[in-house]
Amino acid sequence: MKQAAQRILTDEILQNIRKHEAGTNGLKRRALRCHYCNHKEVEIFEDARGHVKAKCGKCGHEAIYNVAFCRNGAVRFKLLTL
Ligand SMILES: [Zn+2]
């Protein structure tokens, strides 16, 4: 298995990490759960928009989620009739 290259954390990189973390202060967050096993995959902040692709750490399935359809920690599906 190919290993990720080690990254040296400089002061500039650490400042960027802290800046991004500070940008989430006061925002509500909710869990995005795996479509296949309901394992908590990702936390989404209330200002998140669009689609997210995530690989489940428990079952290994990859799935794409539309953040707009994910509410209250569960993914709700809308049935469409053709
Ligand atoms: Zn899963």
11 domain residue, yes or no: no
| Residues 56 and 34: beta-carbon distance below 8 Å | yes
Q: How many domains does the chain have?
A: 1
Q: What is the pLDDT of residue 4?
A: 73
43 domain residue, yes or no: yes
CA dist., res. 18 & res. 2, Å (int): 29
60 domain residue, yes or no: yes
Higher pLDDT, 35 or 82: 35
How is residue 77 annotated by DSSP? -
CA dist., res. 74 & res. 32, Å (int): 7
Q: What is the pLDDT of residue 6?
A: 83
Per-residue pLDDT tens over the stretch 1-30? 677 778 889 999 999 999 999 999 999 998
9 domain residue, yes or no: no
Per-residue pLDDT tens over the stretch 36-82? 999 998 899 989 889 989 999 999 999 999 888 765 544 444 445 55
Two structure tokens written together for 77: 């599906």
* CA 60 / ligand 1 centre spacing (Å): 6
Q: Which residues surround ligand 1, an ion (CB under 5 A)?
A: 34, 36-37, 39, 56, 58-59
Q: What is the pLDDT of residue 68?
A: 82
